[in-house]
Structure 1
Amino acid sequence: MTTYHCPQDGTRSPISALTWCCPVCRGPWDLDFTPAPGLTPHVLPGRANSLWRYEEILPLAAPEVSLGEGRTPLVPLTDTVSAKLDYLMPTLSFKDRGAVMLAELARRLNPGRVVADSSGNAGTSIAAYCARAGLPCTVYVPEGTSPKKTEQIRAHGAEVVTVPGGREATALAARAAADEEGVFYASHVFNPYFLHGTKTYVYELWEDLGGRLPDTLVVPVGNGTLLLGAALATAELHALGLIADRPRLVAVQAEAVSPLAEAFRVGAEDLLPAGSGEAAPTLAEGIAIPRPPRARQILAAVRASGGTFLTVPEDEIRDAQRDLAARGFYVETTGVACWAAVRDGAAHRPPGSMVVPLCGAGVKTGMAG
Structure 2
Amino acid sequence: MTPLPDRYCPTDGVRVPSDSLAWCCPSCHGPLDLDFTPIPASLKSLTGRVNSLWRYAETLPLPAPTVSLGEGRTPLVTLTDEVSAKLDFLMPTLSFKDRGAVLLAEVGLRAGPRRVVADSSGNAGTAIAAYCARARLPCTVYVPLGTSAKKLEQIEAHGARPTVVDGDREAAGRAARRAADEPDTFYASHVYNPYFLHGTKTYVHELWEDLGGRLPEVLVLPVGNGTLLLGAALAIAELYRAGLLNRRPALWAVQAAAVAPLAHAWEQGAEDLTGTTTVAPTYAEGIAVPRPPRARQILRAVRDSGGTFLTVTEDRIRHAQLDLASRGLYVESTSAVCWAAVRDRPLGGKSAVVPLCGAGLKSGLARP
Counterpart residue number, 1:28: 31
- In structure 1, the residue corresponding to 2:141 is in which secondary structure? strand
Q: Is the CA contact 1:216–1:350 (under 8 Å) kept in the aligned structure 2?
A: no
**Amino acid across the alignment from 2:85:** A
SS of aligned partner of 1:54: helix
Aligned to 2:174: 172
Q: Which residue of 1 aligns with 2:14?
A: 11
1:90-101 equivalences under 5 Å are: 90-101=92-103
> Helix, strand or coil for the counterpart of 1:250?
strand
**CA distance in 2: counterparts of 1:169 and 1:98, whole angstroms:** 22
CA distance in 2, matches of 1:350, 1:283: 29
**Aligned partner letter, 2:267:** R
Q: Does the CA-based 8 Å contact 2:317-2:333 persist in structure 1?
A: yes
* 1:52–1:61 contact (8 Å) kept in structure 2: no
Q: CA deviation at 1:350?
A: 6.8
Q: Please say if residues 143 and 163 of structure 1, whose CA atoms lie closer than 8 Å, have aligned partners that are also in contact.
A: yes
Q: Tell me, which stretches of 5 or more residues in structure 1 are unaligned?
A: none
Which residue is 1:66 aligned to?
68
Measured after TM superposition, the shift of residue 274 of structure 1 is 2.5
CA contact (8 A) 2:260 2:277 kept: no
Aligned equivalent of 1:310: 310
Aligned length: 364
Paired position in structure 1 for 2:82:
80
Task: Report if aligned partners of 1:83, 1:355 keep a CA contact under 8 Å in 2.
Answer: yes
1:362 aligns with 2:364: no
Contact 1:115-1:177 at 8 Å conserved across structures: yes
AA at the equivalent of 1:359: C
- Residue of structure 1 in register with 2:350 after alignment: 352
Moved over 6 A (4+): none
Indicate the residue corresponding to 1:163 in structure 2: 165
Partner AA of 2:160 in structure 1: A
Q: How does 1:206-355 map to 2 (within 5 A)?
A: 206-275=208-277, 279-343=279-343, 345-346=344-345, 349=347, 352-355=350-353
CA contact (8 A) 1:342 1:350 kept: no
Q: Structure 2 counterpart of 1:15, which letter?
A: S
Q: Aligned to 1:25, what secondary structure does the other structure show?
A: coil
Secondary structure at 1:135 match in 2: coil
Structure 1 CA distance, aligned partners of 2:348 and 2:81? 13
Aligned to 1:113: 115
TM-score (normalizing by structure 1): 0.97
Query: Please, what TM-score do these two structures have when normalized by structure 2?
Result: 0.98
Q: Is the 8 A contact 1:330 1:361 kept in 2?
A: yes
User: Once the two structures are aligned, what percentage of the paired residues are identical?
Assistant: 70
Instruction: Please list the CA deviations of residues 35-84 of structure 1 after superposition, one character each: whole Å capped at 9, or x if unmatched.
Output: 036x0010111110000000011000210000000000000000010000
Aligned to 2:55: 53
Considering only aligned residues, what root-mean-square deviation do their CA atoms show, in Å?
1.0
CA displacement, residues 261-281 of structure 1 (integer Å, 9 cap, x when unaligned): 0000110000012347xx421
SS of 1:15's partner is: coil
> For each residue in 1:281-335, what CA deviation from the matched residue of structure 2 results, as whole angstroms up to 9, or x when unmatched?
1000000000000000000000000000000000000000000000000000000
Paired letter, 2:266: F
In structure 2, what is the equivalent of residue 141 of structure 1?
143
How far apart, in 1, do the equivalents of 2:74 and 2:338 lie?
18
CA distance in 2 between counterparts of 1:23 and 1:351 reads 48
1:104 aligned partner: 106
Structure 1 counterpart of 2:133: 131
Q: Which amino acid aligns with 1:367?
A: L
Contact 1:103 1:130 in 2 (8 A): yes
Letter of the 1:42 counterpart = K
Q: CA deviation at 1:15?
A: 2.1
Offset from partner CA, 1:101-156 (integer Å, 9 cap, x none): 00011011111110000000000000000000000000000010000000000000
CA offsets per residue over residues 193-228 of structure 1, 9 Å max, x none?
Answer: 000000000000000000000000000000000000
Structure 2: unaligned runs, 5 residues or longer = none
Q: Post-superposition shift, 1:336?
A: 0.4
Q: Go from structure 1 to structure 2 and tell me whether the alpha carbon gap of 1:218 and 1:350 turns closer, same or farther (over 3 Å shift).
A: farther
Match of 1:153 in 2: 155
Q: Measure how far apart 1:351 and its partner are.
A: 5.0
